[in-house]
Amino acid sequence: MLADDLAYSLTPSIWAEDLKLVRDLKGNPSRLDPWQRLALDSGAQRIVLCCSRQSGKSSVCALMALHTCIFQPGALVLLISRSIRQSAELFMKFVTFLERLPDPPARTEDTKLSTILENGSRCVSLPSSEATIRGFSAVSLLIEDEASRVSDDIFVASAPMLSVSRGRQVLLSTPFGKAGHFYKIWTEENNWLKIQIKADQCPRLTPEILEEQMALFGPIKYAQEHNCEFIEDEFIIFTDERIERAINDDIEEIPI
């Protein structure tokens, strides 16, 4: 193995930056944030990222997924999100980084939500449904996107997939109430690497942008989505799900 390959396999952040996978909004090569390097290079078995919107948490997880697929032939990486749309978004980040490689590996199978590389590694993106995840085993890396909104049943169902393979697990999210496995792990578990990045710690989010976000979201949702605060459930009244349910209920009650 070449020296560069060894260094890249041991230090994913060097690999990502040397190969210019990380870029700014104009497409120019950029650098990872210090916390992103920590998440990539730690080698921790369990990682929980409690990070603001637009902080780069999904990008660093997509890089982690790609690095696993490249440097662990035959790896199985699962990307679990609460919806098909979110699954597709995270997977597209993975594909974007894959296509930025100077000599990207051939893909023996390629769909909108999964790909198999020529070294046998596989990356699959799934919505959070027990029916969709129970068929997988020997997972090398499991990434749970928007984990605060993924059901506890999915978290429990995914555990056996990691037990034999000793696969790694990453939860990333903004907070969403003081309940559920994301909140419990963040507040109670000690065997996870915990990284918190608030909006004002992200160099790409200027004070002007944050002021606009505060005006847009209001103080309670801003505290949750940008300041990484776990707000009591009773304050989270108008969730996306409740609004959608109310609209659908109203539609059903309209006489035809």
Whether the pLDDT of residue 105 is over 70: the answer is yes
The token duo for 159 is 């555990």
Is residue 65 included in any domain, yes or no?
A: yes
Any domain includes 86: yes
- Taking alpha carbons only, the member of 137, 26, 30, 8 closest to residue 76 is 137
7 occurs within a structural domain: no
Residue 179 forms part of a structural domain: yes
pLDDT of residue 5: 85
Residue 5 lies in a domain: no
Question: H or E segment at 192?
Answer: none
pLDDT in tens, 120-138: 999 999 876 666 677 788 8
Nearest to 138 by CA among 115, 160, 116, 117: 160
Q: In the structure encoding, which two tokens stand for residue 225, read together?
A: 């989505």
Q: Is residue 196 part of a domain?
A: yes
In the block, residue with structure tokens 């996107």: 145
- Burial (CB count <10 Å: 0-12, 13-18, 19+), residue 34: exposed
CA distance 235 to 39: 31
Q: How many domains does the chain have?
A: 1
Look at residue 224 and tell me if it is in a domain.
Answer: yes
Whether 230 contacts 178, CB under 8 Å: yes
Secondary structure E strands in 18-140? 46-51, 76-81, 107-110, 114-117, 122-127
The DSSP bridge partners found for residue 194 are: 48
**How far is residue 151's CA from residue 60's CA, in Å, rounded to a whole number?**
23
| pLDDT of 139 | 94
Task: Give 196-226 pLDDT, tens digit per residue.
Answer: 999 999 999 999 999 999 999 999 999 999 9
Identity of the residue numbered 156 = V
Among residues 5, 59, 50, the alpha carbon closest in space to that of 31 is found at 59
Task: State which residues form the domain around 183.
Answer: 35-253
Question: Which CATH number does the domain housing residue 150 bear?
Answer: 3.40.50.300
Q: Does 182 fall in a domain? A: yes
